[in-house]
Chain A
């Protein structure tokens, strides 16, 4: 398992196969940042194409792009702002869930902050839709809760 000398990980690439069958390459040092991938490498060896059932070809390239920058230490606030600039709320969500699945901590932290920023002062209905949460309150229960939390409804933005 850990037979390879650690120096070999610096230039080795790992093949990743997405849930929809596409293959992407990443550097072994970037793979180390994704704990799920690293665990799979430890179990299956680094010569095999690592299957990632829950990550798809739409989001994996973006994740790889992030970690490419990370290993060269180039992640700046500007880079991060640019990274999410053109993504809509759903795209960020998908990326975020993928980062969670891959156990990619740095990206997870960054995206959770970004999602929180996007959800700031959004209506309850919007957030329900976003998280896929079904409202199981009765109308009376809900209006009572809203009244109790009236103070937290300051500055709520209109839904688009």
Chain B
């Protein structure tokens, strides 16, 4: 920054009526959006170039939304190409390093790839550290190879691009966060990318394609790993990921190795399985002593071993603070099932740190009631338990909900202050119809 960062010292006589001191100006510019900052150039001669050395440039969704869908603005005849021109102009006027660049490519604005290539080339010479390129248009763009020349990158977030890694790529030696969404990789690109980032702490791979394996042995510093993938992915190797504390795995097949080696250190775990899989096969009995947050989707409590397995997982997570569970099943809710309550009774007072529980269930909630009984009986610190029921379009909701609420009221609670709530939601909508306490 070209402005000095002098802090006001005790002896300064600040005339309240005159210009603000420079660090004060910095403080305010920091929070203005790009348009407001650009307009400060018209305030006075002193202000004309202040905005040009501000090291962040954000052309986000709000920026584009403002130019979207207007037919009444005369200055914007065929305004779409002009947006690229404005961005180019802002970049060319810029003076000094650019640490953070955000570009949200809006669906209604066609930004030509040539512009993107030139912008990234320009940024690679400005010491950019933090880049966000979100392509929200209907077609994917090829990621400009100049991205790989941005040697100072620490944070990268990209969405909906085709990506290949140039052969002379020397890695991103300072990269800490890598967030990849809807990226189509050329063969080997993801592997080259990951192995080129020795300091990586956070890696997200969401709905990407063009890779078959992810091996985290190349990332010993990785703390956070989120992956959502599909059937095409053959293996995920977590074996050497010894620093991992936050894991999200939306899994669709076997092929995850090393999960149980690292679980004892994990503090936040989110998992979802393919409908044919069971947690009993994926999570082995291990003391989950570091686990504070657990979210399990696609839990099929219909299967008795699965219900018992979930209970044993909860028993081993003695420091758990928050639990979220989404169950699934496809049986009709009228089917009678045996009650497993006795087997779930536990007098060893596990789950002492548990504060919040949220369980979403569809038609078959009876199994969930056994689990809830277990949780209520064993969590001495519990504050809130929310049961979110989606019965679909069944007509006879009200008596069912009354029955559930009555059963919940009768359950023994280890925590006197536990607040139990039943929500009833329709599918596809998020509005709440009935609420019982």
Closest 8 CB pairs between A and B? A116-B31, A112-B27, A152-B38, A152-B35, A151-B86, A113-B31, A154-B66, A133-B44
Q: How far is the CB of A101 from chain B (nearest CB, A)?
A: 5
Chain B residues touching A, majority SS? loop
Given the interface contacts A97-B16, A100-B21, A134-B44, does A117 sit within 8 Å of B38 by beta carbon?
no
Bound-state CA distance A119–B31 (Å) is 10
Partner of A133, one of B32, B33, B36, B43: B43
Q: Which stretch, B6-14, B103-111, B213-221, touches the partner chain A?
A: B6-14
Beta-carbon contact of A40 and B45 below 8 Å: no
Beta-carbon contact of A100 and B42 below 8 Å: no
- Kindly state whether residue B235 has any CB partner on chain A within 8 Å: no
6 interchain pairs, CB-CB under 8 A? A101-B8, A116-B28, A132-B20, A133-B44, A145-B41, A151-B38
- Kindly state whether residue B75 has any CB partner on chain A within 8 Å: yes
Q: How far is the CB of B76 from chain A (nearest CB, A)?
A: 8
- Kindly state whether residue B67 has any CB partner on chain A within 8 Å: yes
Bound-state CA distance A113–B17 (Å) is 21
- Kindly state whether residue B47 has any CB partner on chain A within 8 Å: yes
Beta-carbon contact of B35 and A115 below 8 Å: no
Interface size bucket, A side?
35 or more
Chain A 97-124 against B: per-residue CB contact (8 Å), 1 yes, 0 no?
A: 1001101000011001101110111101
Residue in chain A with minimal CB distance to B31: A116
User: Would you list which residues of chain B between 41 and 61 have a CB under 8 Å from chain A?
Assistant: 41-48
- Kindly state whether residue B19 has any CB partner on chain A within 8 Å: yes
Beta-carbon contact of A97 and B20 below 8 Å: yes
User: Would you list which residues of chain A between 115 and 158 have a CB under 8 Å from chain B?
Assistant: 115-117, 119-122, 124, 127-128, 131-137, 142, 145-146, 148-155
- Kindly state whether residue B39 has any CB partner on chain A within 8 Å: yes
Partner of A131, one of B12, B19, B45: B19
Beta-carbon contact of B33 and A120 below 8 Å: yes
Chain A residues touching B, majority SS? helix
Partner of B42, one of A53, A117, A120, A149: A149
Beta-carbon contact of A150 and B75 below 8 Å: yes
Residue in chain A with minimal CB distance to B14: A54
Q: Which B residues lie within 8 Å of A87 (CB)?
A: none
Residue in chain A with minimal CB distance to B86: A151
Q: How far is the CB of B219 from chain A (nearest CB, A)?
A: 34
- Kindly state whether residue A94 has any CB partner on chain B within 8 Å: yes
- Kindly state whether residue B23 has any CB partner on chain A within 8 Å: yes
- Kindly state whether residue A67 has any CB partner on chain B within 8 Å: no
* Most chain A beta carbons < 10 A, residue from B12, B27, B66, B75: B27
Partner of B66, one of A54, A133, A155: A155
Beta-carbon contact of B14 and A133 below 8 Å: no
Beta-carbon contact of B31 and A135 below 8 Å: no
Beta-carbon contact of A132 and B17 below 8 Å: yes
- Kindly state whether residue A12 has any CB partner on chain B within 8 Å: no
Bound-state CA distance A108–B327 (Å) is 47
Bound-state CA distance A113–B31 (Å) is 5
Bound-state CA distance A102–B86 (Å) is 40
Q: How far is the CB of A38 from chain B (nearest CB, A)?
A: 11
Beta-carbon contact of A127 and B43 below 8 Å: yes
Seed contacts A127-B40, A132-B19, A137-B42; 12 additional CB < 8 Å A-B pairs:
A101-B12, A115-B31, A119-B28, A120-B36, A128-B43, A131-B19, A133-B44, A133-B46, A137-B44, A148-B89, A151-B86, A152-B35
- Kindly state whether residue A39 has any CB partner on chain B within 8 Å: yes
- Kindly state whether residue B232 has any CB partner on chain A within 8 Å: no
- Kindly state whether residue B257 has any CB partner on chain A within 8 Å: no
Q: Which B residues lie within 8 Å of A100 (CB)?
A: 8, 21, 23-24, 27
- Kindly state whether residue A36 has any CB partner on chain B within 8 Å: yes
